[in-house]
Structure 1
Amino acid sequence: MTATAASTWEYDGYDPAEERLRESLCTLGNGYFATRGALPECAADDVHYPGTYVAGCYDRLTSTVAGREVENEDMVNLPDWLPLRFRATGGGWLTPDTAQVLGHRQVVHLDSGTLERHTRFQLGERGVLAVRQTRLVHMADPHLACLRTEFTAETDAVDLDVEAALDGRVTNSGVPRYRDLAGGHLTHVRAGAAATGTVWLRCRTRTSDIGVGLACRLTADGPVAAGAEERRAVQRLRLRLEPGRAAVVDKTVALHTSRDAAISDPLRAAVDRVECAPGFDGLLRTHRTAWAQLWRRAGLDVPGEAGAILRLHLFHVLQTLSPHTADLDVGVPARGLHGEAYRGHVFWDELFVLPYLNLHFPEVSRALLRYRHRRLERARSAARALGRRGALYPWQSGSDGREETQQLHLNPRSGRWLPDHSHLQHHVGSAIAYNVWQYCEASGDAEFLHTKGAEMLLQIARFWADSAVWDDRLGRHRIRGVVGPDEYHEAYPGAGRPGLDDNAYTNVTAAWVLTRTLEVLAALPEPRRRELVERTELDYAELHRWEEVSRTLHIPFHDGVISQFEGYGDLAELDWRGLRARHGDIRRLDRVLEAEGDTVNRYQASKQADVLMLGYLFSPSELRSLFARLGHRLDDVTWHRTVDYYLARTSHGSTLSGLVHGWVLARARRAEAWTYVQEALKGDVADLQGGTTGEGIHLGAMAGTLDLVQRGLTGLETRSGALWLDPVPLPELSSYGFALRYRGHWGVRLRLEHGLLEIAVPESGRLPIDVRLPGRTVRVQPGDTCRLALPDRPRAAAPLSRAVGS
């Protein structure tokens, strides 16, 4: 792949082995729905996988796995609107797999949100057929998509047969390890043609009973025959191609579901919309305008290869979570709307996504938090099922907020189905609370904080206080039976039950939630506080317990470092060198060891940042304050030793790992930070996890790299009504700029270059912005630009120990 001036992402040549990856990275979407970048003439097989997904459209099916009945909810692969195949009359249908390809090129135009494709086919003795296609999923009207195809006979005249279709025969089969599970989500598939020549297809999801309607208009120089086949709506035409003269076929499609607002029937809405839609040129014009507005609001200027990848990441974030998302009841799908990995579920990835959105599209952040608030009662039910008060949010969420984490997972290396205990990652509640607070600080949305935000904070804090048990021996409260962000460790070696005690990340963030919630409750206007207290039956004794638990949660240490969990330091050291010699890539260490009949539970080895996530969430001063509240002194030596310790014991089996380590090292060990930043940048574009990107992009990692520039390298915080900045420029990324939206100011621009920080606030009638840097505070009036020379930072501390097995 190549990138040109950060405005395009290109692939030259046809490579079947790369096709799934390209399909994910060439996906087009608008926040309502997205379609993978599959070739329109190719059906789903081992090479190609067309997929179209509507945000929040889930369905639940039951499968038999290892002799057990298990239920899984999937984001549904909806009827395929792409199919458009072609052949020289009398010949076979042309695809890059069945015909001689003389040239093939795909280009994503990031500025305009279009996918362009050029292919030249050898037609035997009939000469050469050139095919150029331009595709868009409309960013202004989220229910429309369009495909323009230009056919050119380069030498001899050719009669060409063209067939366009809406295909309802699709299933969810894009992830090989899920293929033995039930994937036929569409039922009652019907197709037909309207009197205007428009064809349509309607269906329903099998269990959730969501109605889906698609309609297609085909425009070409020549008569179009319309009809229906089994589960397909079809349009056909024949073109006479004269040498050197392009023949154009435009396919315009509308998509609606019964979850949409302001419609009575999804099929009727789709037919009406496609019949009223402008032609391709008109659609392209309004589509480009919508994208231009998005780029203005999310402007990012980073030079070089890093800047090109960051712009691609931003492109995919905006296609998954656009302003259209603000009108929907959806969460943050971990793999975007780009594929079926993780079944389209919502994990904790909003922790990495919302901090970026808060400063550009706060209305989208608010909608994503409302998704969580609507499922608060379901979370309270989950807590009650454990005998606890408060709210226990699920590790994986889908349509209604119940726990969607699979009961069994497949290890592809061993072929064995294994129990899945990742639902014990109760720290997802702290992530939601953190996002509530960050959103309100960035946006100044006191109304949300005082209502829905306060309700979520209260119930999450209540769960943590009720989960904490007193240990007389330690003189501390403990939280037992959980799994931390590491995910590899689910139980103690030889234990009869899953779960670990006193995961440091879980306990510290629980203490933060309790502390912050007490502050929010104290600051609420008295009428609102009274209402909340009455409705939740909150009393003084409970508040006193929160205060006590927030100061006495146990944080384990060993060998002068923070322990990932109680007993981590007692686990065996791993033979990293021997494992790498035997297996090469050991990112997925859990699968490697299980296939050998071993378990990662026995070793000091982590999949990704766990303890070090604390350095990602909190600034050094806030982290020191949190530990001081818990009775510990966290000095720089202890933190740097902790960073060094876990770096040597992490396999980086998640795309989030490089991101978090790069973020932390930018302040702890700057000389090594760039290695991890590069891994975060290239995680998807180079498919570093070995085939996973073809199943969907990693949205949290993509958004996190954007936030690394926005907050990580600038030290930007939004707190106490001010912008706080403490830049730590990396030598490899020392010049960059971006725009942000802060407390009603649109288009605030920050630029850092050669030790100079520039802040420009656009003209408006709003209050000035207070900007606080170490040792000084400046006030920037609307319409003014402030330039500040940054002091030289001291060199980061040197590593304190050598890597294990290095």
Structure 2
Amino acid sequence: MTGWLLRYEGLDPAQEPLREALCTLGNGRFATRGAAPESRAGGCHYPGTYAAGVFNRLTDEVDGRRVENESMVNLPDWQSLTLRIAEGPDLGPETGTVSAYVQELDLRRGVLTRRYRVTDAQGRTTRIAQRRLVSMADPFLAALDTTVVAENWEGRIVVRSGLDGRVENTGVARYRHLSGRHLRPGEAAVGDDGVVQVTAETCTSRIRIGLAARHRVLVDGRPCDVPVVPLVEGDTYAGTEVALDVVPDRAVTVEKVVALCTSRDRAIDEPGAAAGDELVRAPWFDGALARHEFAWRRLWDRCDVEIDGRVRPSLILRLHVFHLLQTVSPHSIDLDVGIPARGLHGEAYRGHVFWDELFVLPFLSLRLPEVARAMLLYRWRRLPQARAAARAAGRRGAMFPWQSGSTGREESQLLHLNPRSGHWLPDNSALQRHIGLAVAFNTWRYYEATGDIAFLDVHGAEMLLEVAAFFADLATYDRSDDRYDICGVMGPDEYHDALPWRDRPGLDDNAYTNVMTAWTLARAQDCLDLLGPRRQAELLDQLGLGRPDLERWEHVSRKLRLCWHDDGVLSQFRGYDRLEEFDWDGYRRRYGDISRLDRILEAQGDSTNGYKLSKQADAVMVFQLLTADEFYAVLDRLGYPHDRQTIPRTIRYYVDRTCHGSTLSKVVHAWVLARGNRRRAWDYWLEALESDIADTQGGTTGEGIHLGAMAGTVDLLQRAFTGLETRGDALGLDPYLPDALASMRFRLRYRDHPEVEVAITHHEVVVGGNPGQAAVLPLRVRDVTYQLDPRSSLRVPLSRKRNSRDR
């Protein structure tokens, strides 16, 4: 392990799903899991290739109910390649005696390498090395090269390589009893020029997919013509087979270059023909690698976050940035896609889009704002669907779905399976209406970071106002208390979807929802003020909003109800104080890992609804999104008394009652403790950092990485520990690094300043501009304002304020 190289030594079948997910290669348009090219789905392996936005819908009967599921589709396997000694068995890790097995993911270059020695039953030993890439420079291309060296024998090796359309969605065990055959075969063929082609079409969404591949053989690095045998199996597999003469210590290499196109792509005709055209223009492996490496250098130049010489945290941090950029990159901009919670790395959550953009967009907005803008446009294009959902619920405005796919309709399941009990249970997670507040929050924070008033004018304001209209309409007025209530919703904590004494789902006055609603309604007015009178009037008329609506928004934003415990702790929802305390110690002794208490309790005939516990951060999530000043401004607006201990008092209460059943939870807890207890915040950050690489949730990472948690660890480092803010038309920094973090350095974009370099230690912060920029950078360091000349740098000494709990 180095700061740039993730290395696995030896075979470990039990860890193969995890390795395959973490070694996924992608470019923001499509991605391929790091499965061995010779592997097929089953056992410990699961080859999978997924293109952003390629979904398909299938229907099943579950417990007498028709259930529809839209899923990200597993596409034909482009990697498929096997080796065997002529008249002998395959040469692979599972068919011979393997030694010196190494798999390396080079994050800097975006290349996956695999090397091993295999000895067959006759004692013939062969060295095999493979390199693989999914091009970040040419978004339709992928490439694989395989080098074979016979060590102690001579003879023939047969290489079979193809495009395999015999795939289904079977990557998640709990989905396997449901339909998974999403592709309808098209054609499979091998041309006279040796080009291999396979086409298919999704069976309901009718998205066409085309793949084309070509091969060449090199002996000791020189191209060599060899006879090629075409192979076609029905309409789902096409490939070629070549027999290669080998002698000891002579390297024989087979290169495979592949193009993948879909009917969702821009500026193409038929995807099969388009893939063939891309292939004609494509270079061979080394040429593709050079272009690919250059593209990654440019991305790392913008996106790397350097921390002092801690190898493992540095590597994992870069691994998280790497997978973020493989899921959404500049190639995503024209695709009309959102941010899937599990990346393009597996089939968990069926590839759906949740609220993970809340954790991803701050990183993108400060480095690749054009990509962040495209992710927001995914939501804007689905405003009509969100409006229709609101109307169906009897509400105004726009009601965004908790789970979104291709169209923006609600894709949340109606039932979910508890594997511990085998019971199918109602799934009420669609009541997490706060997803709309995340859309509004992301829109406003994007504007603050970029100053993109044109986006706000044409797209952002419409989204923000429609979300505001929905939540203002959702609020009901209680005249006796002169307060508004928001009822029948769920907060981020999915362990509470109802009150135990009530027979209908939903909670009332969830603190997170109500605080963020008040904040959003205030920002809606700020947004209107920015647009100017003419555009303001035009937009209000377009949305059917009048002065009475704005007056109601103002009233609701000042009168929403928050519930409090007697000791001044913000209550997670109304009635929370009536729940029972939970026997944490007893359940830990009995079960060890209690992160999935919902499953444990349901299997006992009990429910998490009855206890003061949380799956993940809920009320305290407010303190991750809003600064202390912003939160206290909301309390002032709502007329609730508070003191400077309101936040730490609430955090302490819920920290002790959270089981971290979500990978996002420790990210949020690290954030909210970053100022008051840096040592514990650092520990939480390290634990969050390990979530995927160590698969701390016991097998979930193999089904797809947790993109929100990955992005959250990076964002926490760049914003929470540095105090980085983009509010108030200035770039703000207020660093208090944990003792264990000596220094950090990163580069960002802020509004008209494309290159701002920031270096922070415990003793000083240094900010440098771009000599090519003429504009002065407005900068605020610990409440002192500066005007930074871009031709120079600013060095500000820092005094360290210590909290007793940090020592």
TM-score for both structures, normalised by structure 2: 0.97
Moved more, 763-772 or 737-746: 763-772
- Give the equivalent residue in structure 2 for 1:286: 291
- Give the equivalent residue in structure 1 for 2:253: 248
- Give the equivalent residue in structure 2 for 1:80: 77
- Give the equivalent residue in structure 2 for 1:48: 45
SS of 1:561's equivalent in the other structure is coil
Does the aligned pair in 1 maintain the 2:21–2:345 contact within 8 Å? yes
CA distance in 2, matches of 1:287, 1:744: 28
SS of 1:327's equivalent in the other structure is coil
> Residue deviations 1:229-268, cap 9 Å, x none?
1210111011111101110000110000001110111000
In structure 2, runs of 5+ residues without a counterpart are: 218-223
CA distance in 2, matches of 1:47, 1:288: 31
Residues 173-572 of structure 1: pairs in structure 2 closer than 5 A: 173-220=170-217, 221=224, 222-230=226-234, 231-303=236-308, 304=310, 305-559=312-566, 560-572=568-580
Does the aligned pair in 2 maintain the 1:159–1:241 contact within 8 Å? yes
Does the aligned pair in 2 maintain the 1:609–1:650 contact within 8 Å? yes
Q: How far 1:100 moved relative to its partner?
A: 1.5
Does the aligned pair in 1 maintain the 2:356–2:708 contact within 8 Å? yes
CA distance in 2, matches of 1:248, 1:583: 52
SS of 1:371's equivalent in the other structure is helix
2:624 matches 1:619: no
Does the aligned pair in 2 maintain the 1:41–1:94 contact within 8 Å? no
> Residue deviations 1:161-208, cap 9 Å, x none?
110111111000000000011110000332001221101000100100
Q: Stretches of 4+ moved more than 4 A in 1? A: 796-799
2:747 matches 1:739: yes
Task: Read off the aligned partner of 2:701 and give its amino acid letter.
Answer: T
> Residue deviations 1:729-766, cap 9 Å, x none?
11112311100011132221101123210101111233
CA distance in 1, matches of 2:540, 2:124: 79
2:146 matches 1:149: yes
Q: How far 1:52 moved relative to its partner?
A: 0.2
- Give the equivalent residue in structure 2 for 1:803: none
CA distance in 1, matches of 2:597, 2:192: 59
Moved more, 217-226 or 501-510: 217-226
SS of 1:747's equivalent in the other structure is strand
CA distance in 2, matches of 1:451, 1:320: 26
Q: How far 1:68 moved relative to its partner?
A: 1.4
Q: How far 1:797 moved relative to its partner?
A: 6.6
SS of 2:693's equivalent in the other structure is coil
**Equivalent of 1:592 in 582, 590, 600:** 600
Q: How far 1:308 moved relative to its partner?
A: 1.4
Moved more, 317-326 or 625-634: 625-634
> Residue deviations 1:106-133, cap 9 Å, x none?
0001111000000111122242111100
- Give the equivalent residue in structure 2 for 1:18: 15
- Give the equivalent residue in structure 1 for 2:220: none
Q: How far 1:668 moved relative to its partner?
A: 2.4
Task: Read off the aligned partner of 1:25 and give its amino acid letter.
Answer: L
CA distance in 2, matches of 1:634, 1:120: 67
Does the aligned pair in 2 maintain the 1:395–1:422 contact within 8 Å? yes
Q: What is the RMSD computed on CA atoms of the aligned residues? A: 1.2
CA distance in 2, matches of 1:636, 1:677: 25
> Residue deviations 1:458-482, cap 9 Å, x none?
1000001000001133321000000
Task: Read off the aligned partner of 1:594 and give its amino acid letter.
Answer: E
In structure 1, runs of 5+ residues without a counterpart are: 800-806
CA distance in 1, matches of 2:279, 2:731: 46
Does the aligned pair in 1 maintain the 2:679–2:806 contact within 8 Å? no
CA distance in 2, matches of 1:50, 1:182: 18
- Give the equivalent residue in structure 2 for 1:608: 616
- Give the equivalent residue in structure 1 for 2:116: 119
Q: How far 1:227 moved relative to its partner?
A: 3.0
2:113 matches 1:106: no
**Equivalent of 1:129 in 121, 126, 131:** 126
- Give the equivalent residue in structure 1 for 2:791: 783
CA distance in 2, matches of 1:688, 1:159: 45
Task: Read off the aligned partner of 1:487 and give its amino acid letter.
Answer: E
Q: How far 1:798 moved relative to its partner?
A: 9.2
CA distance in 1, matches of 2:108, 2:641: 49
SS of 2:242's equivalent in the other structure is strand
2:683 matches 1:679: no
**Equivalent of 2:705 in 697, 704, 722:** 697
CA distance in 2, matches of 1:414, 1:638: 40
CA distance in 2, matches of 1:109, 1:581: 41
CA distance in 2, matches of 1:676, 1:765: 39
CA distance in 2, matches of 1:627, 1:95: 64
Task: Read off the aligned partner of 2:90 and give its amino acid letter.
Answer: W
SS of 1:649's equivalent in the other structure is coil
Does the aligned pair in 1 maintain the 2:679–2:805 contact within 8 Å? no
Moved more, 208-217 or 467-476: 467-476
| 1:796/1:410 CA distance change after superposition, 3 Å | farther
Q: How far 1:157 moved relative to its partner?
A: 1.3
2:6 matches 1:9: yes
Q: Count the aligned residue pairs.
A: 796
- Give the equivalent residue in structure 2 for 1:802: none
Does the aligned pair in 1 maintain the 2:737–2:762 contact within 8 Å? no
Task: Read off the aligned partner of 2:294 and give its amino acid letter.
Answer: T
- Give the equivalent residue in structure 1 for 2:221: none
| 1:418/1:786 CA distance change after superposition, 3 Å | same
| 1:765/1:677 CA distance change after superposition, 3 Å | closer
Task: Read off the aligned partner of 2:660 and give its amino acid letter.
Answer: H
Does the aligned pair in 1 maintain the 2:188–2:238 contact within 8 Å? yes
| 1:71/1:796 CA distance change after superposition, 3 Å | farther
Does the aligned pair in 2 maintain the 1:348–1:428 contact within 8 Å? yes
| 1:326/1:503 CA distance change after superposition, 3 Å | same
SS of 2:122's equivalent in the other structure is helix
Task: Read off the aligned partner of 1:134 and give its amino acid letter.
Answer: R
Q: How far 1:796 moved relative to its partner?
A: 5.9
SS of 2:619's equivalent in the other structure is coil
CA distance in 2, matches of 1:554, 1:794: 36
> Residue deviations 1:130-172, cap 9 Å, x none?
1100000000110000000000111111311110111111000
CA distance in 2, matches of 1:540, 1:613: 33
Task: Read off the aligned partner of 1:282 and give its amino acid letter.
Answer: G
Question: How high is the sequence identity, in percent, across the aligned residues?
Answer: 52
| 1:95/1:474 CA distance change after superposition, 3 Å | farther
Does the aligned pair in 2 maintain the 1:198–1:226 contact within 8 Å? no
CA distance in 2, matches of 1:99, 1:64: 44
Task: Read off the aligned partner of 1:687 and give its amino acid letter.
Answer: D
CA distance in 1, matches of 2:783, 2:717: 23
